[in-house]
Amino acid sequence: MNSQNAKQDIQKLLSCFSEIFSRPSFKLFSSFIIGFIQLGKETHTSSMVQSLSFSFLHRSLSSFTRFLGQNVGALEEVAETALEQFFHRLQIKTHSVLFFIVDDTIIQKSGKKIPGCAWHRDHAQKAYVFGHQWVLSALLYKDFLLPLWAKLYHPKGTKGCGPFQTKITMVKKMLQTFRLPIPCKVYLLADSWYWAKQLAQVCRKYGYHMISQLKSSSVVFMDGKKTKVTTLSTINSAYREVSLFIYGKNKTLKIARFVGIIQGLGKVAVVVVKEKRKKTSYLVSTNLHLSALDIVKYYAKRWKIEQMIKDLKQRLGFGHYQVRNPQAIQRHVALVLLSYGILILLKILQWLKDQNASWDLSIRSLAFHVRRYILLENITVTFKAMKIRFQQNILDSYLDKLWV
């Protein structure tokens, strides 16, 4: 990937959003996006402004904080434009299969005065963590994942963040807000914490399907009898062995498909998945026409959002906000998602130019190419102003050390 092309492509992508803002606001918006990509996980609002934007825009810190707090409607319009660009660049056609994926993550915080902070159960660490919990959604087409929304979840009684909403309610509102440029086949993918009849019913209302995981305590009606899903794992004659490439690995699984009834929802397909040295999992699909193999493959695509969350935290400063205004916190996170979206659109542009070379481009490598050229350009400008000449190999050595 050519660094010069990366700069031109970023400028082209950012220009798609120029009509949404006034000229001064667009400069601030572009500075935030470039700043998140440029500084990565070191991105704090103040450090970003002082180290990058302030030096070249000569704007005060208050200009950036006002932008975070006052441009609510504009950022929502930016998200819609990003979705339109996603469809346009990939030339997505009517009735294409898309995946609306949801998940949540915890951002650990230590400040007691930050609004919305509370104790949350971290199931990965098996401990309670103090901080913010975010519910995220993203749209997947082929190998390209575009982030959509991040909503702040807080338990009952938490101060400073408005009325309490369950995570299911948040996802319902995301689905109700979700508007596709053209009609497509959409599957909502979520883990067992988000499986709920009311969410499946919302999907049905909009013509979508839902694929999720059932908890081992779940029950379905089979031939009119109430049956625990764990009972299905004992019907050995129903299973067949398959080899699949999922979660980045080749896996050998035993799978079986059953059709049951969930009260208040109707018929669903239940797929039981057995893997050596792992707990049996129970997948559920509201689309009865999918095979067991397709249900397993589709559900495995949920892994993409976990990779996205990791990149948001480690590469783009997702949780590194240092503001106490709830609105500014939401805008910070929204801009980080847009920065990730810009990198995804950049990957699409590279893929359209050379599909073999660009298919495996990671967010890490994309961000590095952008950082390398922008940093090279900014350092060159600084050196010229100081009337000092440095050899190119010294600068390259500096950039390599910075990358490490």
Model confidence pLDDT, tens digit, residues 5-29: 677 788 888 888 888 888 878 887 8
Contact assessment for residue 346 and residue 366, using Cβ atoms and an 8 Å cutoff? yes
Whether residue 281 is contained in a domain is answered as yes
- What total of structural domains would you count in the chain? 1
Contact assessment for residue 104 and residue 135, using Cβ atoms and an 8 Å cutoff? yes
C-alpha torsion angle, residues 57, 58, 64, 67 (rounded to 10): -60
Q: Helices marked H in 149-275 — which ranges? A: 167-177, 197-205, 229-232
Whether residue 243 is contained in a domain is answered as yes
Q: Compute the distance between CA of residue 267 and CA of residue 89 in angstroms, rounded to an integer.
A: 38
Q: Give the tokens for residue 1.
A: 């990937």
Return the top range by mean pLDDT from 103-112, 201-210, 363-372, 388-397. 201-210
Q: 9: closest CA among 398, 352, 350?
A: 350
Whether residue 168 is contained in a domain is answered as no
- Is the pLDDT assigned to residue 97 strictly greater than 50? yes
Contact assessment for residue 317 and residue 44, using Cβ atoms and an 8 Å cutoff? yes
Residue for token pair 């050196």 = 383
Number of other residues whose CB lies within 10 A of the CB of residue 24: 12
pLDDT tens per residue, range 279-293: 999 999 999 999 999
User: Per-residue pLDDT averaged across 226-253, rounded?
Assistant: 92
> Is residue 223 helix, strand or coil?
coil
DSSP 87: H
What confidence score (pLDDT) does residue 174 get?
A: 94
Confidence of residue 48 (pLDDT cuts 50, 70, 90): low
Between 71 and 137, residue with greater pLDDT: 137
What confidence score (pLDDT) does residue 379 get?
A: 44
Contact assessment for residue 300 and residue 247, using Cβ atoms and an 8 Å cutoff? yes
Whether residue 107 is contained in a domain is answered as no
> Residue 237: which domain range?
209-297
Contact assessment for residue 379 and residue 395, using Cβ atoms and an 8 Å cutoff? yes
Mean pLDDT of the chain: 83
Lowest mean pLDDT among 50-54, 150-154, 161-165, 290-294: 50-54
Between 355 and 376, residue with greater pLDDT: 355
Between 377 and 200, residue with greater pLDDT: 200
What confidence score (pLDDT) does residue 104 get?
A: 95
What confidence score (pLDDT) does residue 398 get?
A: 47
What confidence score (pLDDT) does residue 144 get?
A: 94
Residue for token pair 């009865």 = 288
- Is the pLDDT assigned to residue 39 strictly greater than 90? no
Whether residue 161 is contained in a domain is answered as no
Q: Give the tokens for residue 314.
A: 């480690």
Q: Give the tokens for residue 316.
A: 């783009």
179-185, long-range: CB within 8 Å, 24+ apart, which pairs? 179/80, 180/87, 180/98, 181/83, 181/84, 181/87, 182/87, 182/92, 182/93, 182/94, 183/94, 183/95, 184/92, 184/94, 184/95, 184/96, 184/97, 184/98, 185/95, 185/96, 185/97, 185/98, 185/209
What confidence score (pLDDT) does residue 12 get?
A: 86
Q: Compute the distance between CA of residue 368 and CA of residue 355 in angstroms, rounded to an integer.
A: 20
- Is the pLDDT assigned to residue 385 strictly greater than 70? no
Whether residue 48 is contained in a domain is answered as no
Q: Give the tokens for residue 122.
A: 């971290």
Whether residue 353 is contained in a domain is answered as no
Whether residue 331 is contained in a domain is answered as no
User: Per-residue pLDDT averaged across 45-71, rounded?
Assistant: 57
In single-letter form, the type of residue at position 26 comes to F
